[in-house]
Amino acid sequence: MMLDPQQLATDQALLQLGKRLRADGYRFTCVTPATHARVNAREGAAQAHTLRDVFGWSRPFAPALVSADELGQLQRAELLAGRGELLQSTVRWSTLDDLLLVHSAYPTEASDAVFFGPDSYRFAQVIHEHLQRSPRRVEHAVDIGCGTGVGALVIAKAAQHAQVTAVDINPLALRYTAINAALAGVSNVSVEHSNLLDGVTGSFDLIVANPPYMLDVGERTYRHGGGSLGAELSLRIVEQARERLSAGGSLLLYTGVAMVEGRDALLEAIRLRLAGPEWSWVYREIDPDVFGEQLDERGYEHVERIAAVALTVTRNG
């Protein structure tokens, strides 16, 4: 992916900021938007008092709160917004184990927002568990809709010999993935612009994906899953992965499903697509009730819950 000189300069500044935060021992666990809103609504939380407030809770801050070099990196990266006499970072930094990841600030309302949150932690755990129990050596893996690149980075760190490709339709996600990979010190991750796997060639030993699965009125890329209740993108990933898995290779799909009167329409659709002896697969609920606030949104009038699910598909052979 080619960047113009200005983008290279801003991304380098963002990388240096990440290195500074990591050296300072910065850590932050990213929560759901609903929890974030509740915490920020508390008394005394209107303005930042610590670096975690600035770069985790996305609170406005006085310029004197951060060091001169951190402020300079934000300015060079063009990631500061004015809030009266205060400033606000337009990115967040969150941690997962030893990874430090840059992503979009709260609230993630922009159409090209790069999301990271509780789903990302569960997605990483699904990958960890698979890599620990699978006897197959991963040579070529791809993270579809990579976002911050967390899936690609988890694989790349566990299988340092592997070639790992991170793809996304969002150019900002690819930039953040490249920064996060550089910050993690991994050299076996490449980024490519692609709509799912349309722009990528070859077959894969491991395909992972954590696609959006909501019905989003604004159709924001990071959030809208398509179809009547957000499942369309997940099914497209299953269909494309069937054609691109090598013999013995696996797809790990972490997604969500809207349950209507106890019916799991995603599972029913997957059964049809994976019928036959060519496939072995396991489908399980990771969490039976996530993003309950979404049930208040238009289109969810008949949904009783949203479940987080994991699908593991292996091509027999």
The pLDDT value recorded for residue 6 is 78
Domain count for the chain: 2
| Residue whose tokens read 């969500």 | 256
**151, exposed or middle or buried, with CB in 10 Å at 0-12, 13-18, 19+?**
buried
CATH number at residue 178: 3.40.50.150
* Domain-located, residue 19: yes
The pLDDT value recorded for residue 135 is 86
* Domain-located, residue 74: yes
At which of 53, 73, 104 does a domain end? 104
260 plus 233 within the same structural domain? yes
Provide the token pair at 72. Answer: 């300079």
Q: Would you tell me the crossing angle of helices 5-23 and 68-76 to the nearest 10 degrees? A: 150
At which of 41, 70, 104 does a domain end? 104
The pLDDT value recorded for residue 221 is 64
The pLDDT value recorded for residue 304 is 97
Per-residue pLDDT reduced to its tens digit, 248-258:
999 999 999 99
* Domain-located, residue 111: no
95 plus 181 within the same structural domain? no
The pLDDT value recorded for residue 2 is 54
Residue 177 contacts residue 166 (beta carbons within 8 Å):
yes
On the question of pLDDT at 3 being above 70, the answer is no
The pLDDT value recorded for residue 109 is 86
Per-residue pLDDT reduced to its tens digit, 89-122:
999 999 999 999 999 999 988 889 999 999 999 9
The pLDDT value recorded for residue 220 is 66
Computed over every residue of the chain, the mean pLDDT equals: 94
Provide the token pair at 253. Answer: 């799909």
How much is the pTM?
0.94
231 plus 98 within the same structural domain? no
138 plus 176 within the same structural domain? yes
Per-residue pLDDT reduced to its tens digit, 197-225:
998 999 999 999 999 998 877 766 666 67
* Domain-located, residue 299: yes
64 plus 154 within the same structural domain? no
45 plus 11 within the same structural domain? yes
Question: Mean pLDDT across the stretch 144-166?
Answer: 97
70 plus 211 within the same structural domain? no
160 plus 304 within the same structural domain? yes
Per-residue pLDDT reduced to its tens digit, 37-70:
999 999 999 999 999 999 999 999 999 999 998 8
HEC letters along 4-16? CHHHHHHHHHHHH
Per-residue pLDDT reduced to its tens digit, 235-284:
999 999 999 999 999 999 999 999 999 999 999 999 999 999 999 999 99
Question: Mean pLDDT across the stretch 20-33?
Answer: 96
153 plus 12 within the same structural domain? no
Cα gap 295→22, rounded to integer Å: 38
Residue 300 contacts residue 264 (beta carbons within 8 Å):
no
Is the CA virtual torsion 194, 282, 160, 14 positive or negative?
A: positive
134 plus 29 within the same structural domain? no
* Domain-located, residue 112: no
144 plus 289 within the same structural domain? yes
Range of the domain at 267: 118-315
Is the CA virtual torsion 282, 212, 291, 45 positive or negative?
A: positive
Residue 21 contacts residue 51 (beta carbons within 8 Å):
yes
Cα gap 250→29, rounded to integer Å: 29
30 plus 171 within the same structural domain? no
